[in-house]
Structure 1
Amino acid sequence: MKGRPASKRRSPRRSTGTPVQPRPQAHGRFRMVWMAVAIGVAVAAILAFLTWDTQQEMVSELEMFGDGHRLPPGDPPLDAAAVLGLNPQVPQTVSEINEEILAVGKLVMTTLPQRPEAYAQMAVAHLQVGQERAALESWQRALEQNPSFAEGHLGMGVLLKEFGEDEAAIASLSKAIEVNPELEPAYRELTSLLLQQRRTEQAVEVARQCVQRFPDQAENHYWLGQAFLQHEDYEAASRSYEQTLRLAPDYSPALHSLAVAAARMGDKDRATQYQKRFAERKALELEAERQEARNFDDLASRRQALSKRHAVAGVLQLQVGDPRMAEAHWLRAAAIDSQERTTRQALATLYEQQSRTAAAVQMLEELCRLEPEQAEYFLRKGRLLVGLGADLPAREALQQTLQLAPQTAEAHRMLAQIHLRSATDWPTAVAHAETAARLAPSSDTYLVLAAVQSQSGDLAGARAALSRALQMDPDNPRTRRAYERLRELD
């Protein structure tokens, strides 16, 4: 493995009582662990960002009467490559992709030198290109910025464990748990290492803490079973493995370990049964792995890795209040991976909040193409187009929303408003307005219903709808004015 002295390479260690799973190649192991930890945390942050509620703000901009509200066009499209100092052409080879992965890490580290997360992203970048020793240095620099950065201790622990520096790894992983008891992967890494060290009682205690904190994760019960197995408490081990299978029926390591535990308790029939199930499941897994290997596209995989690096960088930039840099990273991510969704979601929300409606609509159109079964994208697109007064494309988007989610009250309400503005097809307008009021009764929906009924000549229905609106919001001046205007017509 690159960067590892020969004297420090860890050889597979087997200990009596604990089946040892084959160790993946180091680069693959690092990628699996840290793509799951660091990137997973960052994507969760993007998703949290996407939950910002812009719906009420956008709805308040809509005019119930008249031609609708036109939002300002906003800034011109951002030149992401120029802002980031990258080649305008997206990388086309694995070598070029690896260069940009490192460039993104260095850029984040340079622009956010006081943030430990920036050095963490540099560490992940090094790991993705196989530079493990450089990654270790980046984790150390992250901890220099913040000694209580739990992810830094976890990163150090994983690498030190891989390098065979077990005592230092145990100290780092223990510190990660001490600083942040919710850092789930640290428990599993520490349990595994303690078992390799034959420190069985400590392993049982750490694994038990993990299960108590995270009882819904099958792998946590598996590792508790491994600790009990090494402790020669075969009944407790079996209970843990059985719980693993209740949570994940196809988890083959638990089947194998159950066979081992049953054999050691002298139950040959159960041992044979579980060994047979394990062999059947393992055969399926091996065939799936062979199929995956046949279909594997290394270039596409590396593109996805680079896209995620930009996604993470954008989150960090947004956290420090630089939406321009966040936008640049997310645009680059979208350009690199034409199927990537998360950054497009983030960009659509960012553009909505910045009133850059045309850009938001473009991103939502891409999301509609990528996930045509998601009604939310069509609804958001329709909402923006209604705000712009672009009634025809808005109607198409809202009708598609209702095909996917017929009970979407907002789509019915906005379709009623479109018909109201164009003064066409009053029966359809009334039907949409009535449905909106039934699905989501509120002062606003009854106002729309009243307006449609009034324009269609149903003054009695309009008065009834306005009365309901006033009952729901008696202090609403717009409702009061509409009610007084309608009374003047009597």
Structure 2
Amino acid sequence: MCAVVAGFWGINYLSRSDKKTDKKGSPPVPGEQPKPPTITSKLTIEQEIVALKKEELEFAEQLVREFPNSDDALVLIGNVYRKQGNSAEAEKYWKKALALNPARPDVYNGMGWAAFEKGEYEKAIVFWRKALEINPQTPAIHNSIAQTLILLGRYDEVIKEAEEELKISPTSGLSYFLLGQGYLKLKEYDKAKEYYETAIKLEPDYMNAYYGLFRVCSRLKLKDEAGKYLARFKELKAEDAKVLMDRNKAFDDVVVIRKMLAETYSDAEYIYYNKGNLQQAEKLLQRAVSLEPNNTEYLMKLGFLFQSSNRLQDALKMYLKAAEIEPDNMVSRLNAGVVSMQLKQYGNSEKIFREVIKSAPKLSNGYRELAHLYLMTGTNLSEALKLAKTAVALEEAAENYFILSWAYDRNGDVANAGSTLKRAVELEPDNLQYRRMYEQIQKRILRGDS
């Protein structure tokens, strides 16, 4: 195949997944920007809790001053007030956010829990149903409604809500537990037993599910099973009691406050990133990482930010650190492989992709990216074709078909390259790059090019 065609595929593939985000043309964000401070370790635990809460609230207030018309900023400060126990202030800001953007299921979810905590169960359900009107696929909402309906004694509705949740989250142990609770209250003990058993299959240490099983087995006169489940319930309860006895409440409170503050900075980073202020976005993520050094979500976000800024070495460090903390997280490893490829560290990239394939043989990404590497470097082209075929066999995704089309082309099979690229266009009809490339390869086929 001619060098021109190789360049054609290579350049366009880079524009698909490796294109650098150009933020230079973005206008500067006006006003004073909140500067996340660092709390000194010389404080007592109690002093640190007060200081962290003060830091979080002051930051949220400054954020709203800087972005008074941002529903994201208003939601964030509402969340801060809610976390700090001031639901009245939280609702005030949430309502302002809804006035700017009514399509916020997360706000209605928060308002639902605020109502629930005040014992306003019917009001809580109304808020949660509004969240589902906006996004019927919002996870956990049906379970929240089901838990509230149990308190209201409406057991038929409990079952309906838990079943709806399972359509969204099929492996929700809580949903199966709630089904058990509903059927127990309706005295349908065989069904209750079945759902409790499913709950503990999903979550083997689900203490309350064991107690539910003890109750239904007692009703069903299954004495031996009832005894077994009661014994396991008591074991888990004793373990919980020991944890509570051994815990340092003040230290645990600091850990929770640090976690909540880190979440606030991570949420605010999104606002600055969308405004093109990558410098401030980075500061906030760095502060989040300082509060929770082993939180891979923050490390990944920081890695993406560095990658967007073309700070590839820094991005690679973040992805590798995330992969070290969570070895089973294939996304961080794949990202590390992609960045290594961008850095032209092809040997390292190949090693990472092969490790991903070995660790997750049913995941298409590893095969696709290794094929991509070989196609970019013009090496192992026959193996690239095999890898791309495997990726498509595992997952019929447009990007997998794109790579397979490229692999066919690099191996001299333009006809299959065209038909395969057509499939990518069918899967993603709005992808202008795929459409343009498909038109060009069709012209080559008509000309009889190879």
Q: Name the TM tier (shorter chain).
A: 0.5 to 0.7
In 1, the alpha carbon distance for the partners of 2:193 and 2:18 equals 61
CA deviation string 1:434-486 (max 9, x = no partner): 76576459797899xxxxxxxxxxxxxxxxxx87387877978xx9xxxxxxx
Structure 2 distance, partners of 1:73, 1:119, is 28
Relative to 1, partners in 2 of residues 1:238 and 1:320: Cα closer, same or farther, differing over 3 Å? Answer: farther
Query: Per-residue CA shift, 1:169-195, capped at 9, x if unaligned?
Result: 333334333443323333222222222
1:383 aligns with 2:341: yes
Change (3 A) 1:472 1:90: farther
Q: 1:468 aligns with which of 388, 391, 412?
A: 412
The DSSP-based 3-state class of the residue aligned with 2:285 is: helix
Any unmatched runs of 5+ in structure 2? Answer: 1-10, 42-47, 358-366, 389-402, 419-439, 445-450
- How far apart are the structure 1 equivalents of 2:104 and 2:307? 34
Paired with 2:239 and 2:135, the residues of 1 have a C-alpha distance of 38
Change (3 A) 1:305 1:399: same
1:183, 1:61 → 2: CA distance?
31
Q: 1:347 to 1:87 in 2, by over 3 A?
A: closer
Residues 259 and 272, structure 1, Cα contact 8 Å, conserved in 2: yes
- Does residue 119 of structure 2 align to residue 164 of structure 1? yes
Higher relative contact order (CA 8 A, sep 6+): 1
Mark the runs of 5 or more structure 1 residues left unpaired by the alignment.
1-53, 63-70, 387-393, 418-429, 448-465, 480-490
Which of 14, 17, 30 is residue 57 of structure 1 equivalent to? 14
Identity over aligned pairs, percent? 21
Worse overlay, 163-172 or 314-323: 314-323
> Is the counterpart of residue 365 in structure 1 residue 323 in structure 2?
no
Against the structure 1 CA distance between its residues 385 and 226, is the aligned structure 2 distance closer, same or farther, given a 3 Å change threshold? Answer: same
Per the TM alignment, residue 59 of structure 1 is displaced from its structure 2 partner at its CA by: 9.4
Residue identity opposite 2:33 in structure 1: L
1:84 aligns with 2:33: yes
Q: Which residue is equivalent to 2:149? A: 194
Query: Does the 8 Å CA contact 2:141/2:165 hold for their aligned counterparts?
Result: no
Specify whether residues 173 and 337 from structure 1 end up closer, same or farther in structure 2 by C-alpha distance, changes over 3 A only.
closer
Q: Could you tell me which amino acid in structure 2 is paired with residue 229 of structure 1?
A: L
Asked if residue 183 in structure 1 is aligned to residue 132 in structure 2, the reply is no
The alpha-carbon distance between structure 1 residues 89 and 396, as it changes in their structure 2 partners (threshold 3 A), is farther
Cα RMSD, aligned residues only = 4.5
The two structures have a TM-score, normalised by structure 2, of 0.65
Matched residue SS, 1:102: helix
Instruction: Provide closer, same or farther for how the CA distance between residues 338 and 198 of structure 1 changes in structure 2, counting only shifts above 3 A.
Output: closer
2:217 pairs with 236, 253, 262, which one? 262
- Provide the TM-score with structure 1 as the length reference: 0.61
CA distance in 2 between counterparts of 1:267 and 1:60 reads 59
The correspondence of residues 405-420 of structure 1 with structure 2, limited to 5 A, is: 408-410=370-372
Question: Equivalents in 2 of 1:167, 1:292: separation in Å?
Answer: 36
Structure 1 172/381 Cα, relative in aligned 2: closer, same or farther at 3 Å?
closer
The equivalent residue for 2:430 is: none
The secondary structure found in structure 2 opposite 1:193 is helix
Any residues of structure 2 matched to 1:228-239 within 5 Å, and which?
228-239=183-194
Distance 2:222 2:16 in 1: 67
- Deviation readout 1:391-427 (Å, 9 max, x if unpaired): xxx367447536745873455667x68xxxxxxxxxx
Which residue does 1:329 correspond to in 2?
A: 284
Q: Partners in 1 of 2:149 and 2:333 — Cα distance?
A: 49
Aligned residues: 373
Q: Is the 8 A contact 1:382 1:398 kept in 2?
A: yes
- The AA in structure 2 aligned to 1:194 is L
Offset, 1:289: 5.8
CA contact (8 A) 2:406 2:417 kept: no
Contact 1:83 1:325 in 2 (8 A): no
Are the structure 2 counterparts of residues 115 and 278 from structure 1 closer, same or farther at C-alpha, using a change threshold of 3 Å? same
1-structure distance, mates of 2:347, 2:274: 36
C-alpha distance in structure 1 between counterparts of 2:293 and 2:14, whole Å: 30
Q: Which has the larger radius of gyration?
A: 1
- Assess if the C-alpha contact under 8 Å between 2:307 and 2:315 holds in 1: no
After the TM superposition, which of the residue ranges 360-369 and 324-333 deviates more from structure 2?
Answer: 324-333
Q: Which among 168, 179, 182 is matched to residue 227 of structure 1?
A: 182
Question: Does structure 1 residue 101 correspond to structure 2 residue 56?
Answer: yes
> What is the aligned partner in structure 2 of residue 273 from structure 1?
228
CA contact (8 A) 1:143 1:153 kept: no
2:297 is aligned with 1:342: yes
Counterpart Cα distance in 2 of 1:360 and 1:83: 29
- Does residue 1:306 correspond to 2:261, yes or no? yes
**Is the Cα contact below 8 Å between 2:306 and 2:314 reproduced in 1?**
no
Cα separation, partners in 2 of 1:61 and 1:195, compared to 1, 3 Å: closer
Do 1:219 and 1:244's aligned partners in 2 also have CA atoms closer than 8 Å? Answer: yes
What is the one-letter code of the residue matched to 1:360?
L
Structure-2 change in CA distance of 1:265 and 1:444 (3 Å) = closer
Q: Which amino acid aligns with 2:313?
A: V
Distance 1:257 1:324, change over 3 A: same
Q: How many angstroms apart in 2 are the aligned matches of 1:85 and 1:148?
A: 28
Answer whether contact 2:71 2:101 (CA < 8 A) is retained.
yes
1:165 deviation in Å? 2.8
* Structure 1 residues 300 and 400, CA gap change in structure 2 (3 angstroms): farther
Q: Which residue of 2 aligns with 1:463?
A: none
Q: Residue type matched to 2:13 in 1?
A: Q
**Are the counterparts in 1 of residues 146 and 158 from structure 2 also a CA contact under 8 Å?**
yes
